[in-house]
Amino acid sequence: MGWIVWDYDLENKFVKFISYGKYRAENTISSYKSDLEQFVKFLSCDRISEAEKLGDIFVYKQNENQQTSLLISADTEKIRAFMSYLQKNNYSLASIRRKLATLICFYNFLTSGHWINYNPTTGIKPPKVKRHKPKILTEEQIWRLLHLPNLENWVGARDRAILELLCNTGIRVSELVKLNINDVDLTNLRVEITSPSGKKRFLSLTVPVFQALNYYLKLRQRKTGFNDTFPQSPLFTNKFGRRLDARSTDRRIEKYISLAGLDQSISPYDLRHSFAQKLLQQGTDVDELRRLFGFEATSATQLYVESLRQ
């Protein structure tokens, strides 16, 4: 078994660029690296006229200058050919769009660093992704969901607090699991959220959310003895006292969605959609929704609002 060999020094410079210059999330950086390496593999196969081997791992040896030249010499037609390859091999439209976004970012990086004089991605349009209408839960469905956890044990109290936060603040699961004890101000009824890009925002807590969090924290300490005096202690933990991760939290929420007898296609993210719809019905404008939901741009928020109103 061999590996595709390419200029890791150039890759490291790019990763540093998107990590610090663009404030990308860790998962996004990993995806960018994977996408770029797949493109290098495509160029390597094209160089030796063995595109049929793209599904295999093989050795393509070359010196460092040749590795770098593969990326630097790629033109618009190479990128179009790569897009065509992805479509012919049934990659999803969302995946193709992401891979093109990676190349656009990478060649912007090369242009800004004067490795190339023009950006070969200029003029290439990503395929349109069909937007699915978000699923909106009714007030009765949300009430049913919130009242499923067993409040006699601390795990059930934790799950109730998680559901209350998701349903009444609209935060992402990825943001929720990163919350620490000191991010929650139960005295002033607010919580500090850190978005995937690292930006901070404050959200107000309703009385039901405050009550659920307060009850959970007191019951957890009484039942487990977990030390919550450290500011950086995770807010939501498993039975071993370790921070919950996003996937396990998703599974817990999906379990309650099933127990509530709701449509199985409803996802944890639909709790966010439902809260956004509620805010819009109450007259919240696009700018305020952007702030509350942690969107980077007003245009992205507008598209989101339009999808809710379809």
pLDDT tens-digit map of 173-195: 999 999 999 999 999 999 999 88
Q: Which tens digit of pLDDT belongs to each residue from 242-299?
A: 999 998 999 999 999 999 999 888 999 999 999 999 999 999 988 899 899 988 777 7
Residues 94-109, mean pLDDT to the nearest whole number: 88
Burial 31-69, CB ≥16 within 10 A → b, else e: bbbebbebbbbbbbbbeeeeeeeeeeeeebeeeeebbbe
What band does 211 get if pLDDT is binned at 50, 70 and 90?
A: very high
208 vs 52 pLDDT, higher one? 208
pLDDT on residue 109:
87
The DSSP bridge partners found for residue 180 are 234
Q: Which tens digit of pLDDT belongs to each residue from 16-26?
A: 777 665 545 66
Is it the case that residue 5 has pLDDT exceeding 50?
A: no
Both structure tokens of 295:
């969107």
CA distance 18 to 48: 31
**Phi and psi of 187, rounded to 5°?**
-75, -45
CA distance 120 to 100: 11
What band does 307 get if pLDDT is binned at 50, 70 and 90?
A: confident
CA angle 239, 272, 179 (to 5 degrees): 40
pTM for this entry: 0.62
Sign of torsion, CA 55 56 61 67?
positive
CA distance 130 to 107: 27
Q: Which domains does the chain have, with CATH numbers?
A: 8-112 (1.10.150), 139-309 (1.10.443.10)
CA distance 241 to 234: 9
Angle between helices 298-309 and 269-281 (to 10 degrees): 90
Q: Which tens digit of pLDDT belongs to each residue from 125-157?
A: 877 756 667 889 999 999 999 999 999 999 999
pLDDT on residue 231:
67
R_g of the chain, CA atoms, integer Å: 23
Mode of pairing for the β-strands spanning 184-185 and 190-194: antiparallel
DSSP conformation letters of 66-82:
HHHHHHHT--HHHHHHH
- CB half-sphere exposure, 131, CA atoms < 13 A: 10
Q: Report the run of H or E that residue 185 belongs to, with start and end.
A: strand 184-185
Write down the mean pLDDT value for the chain.
82
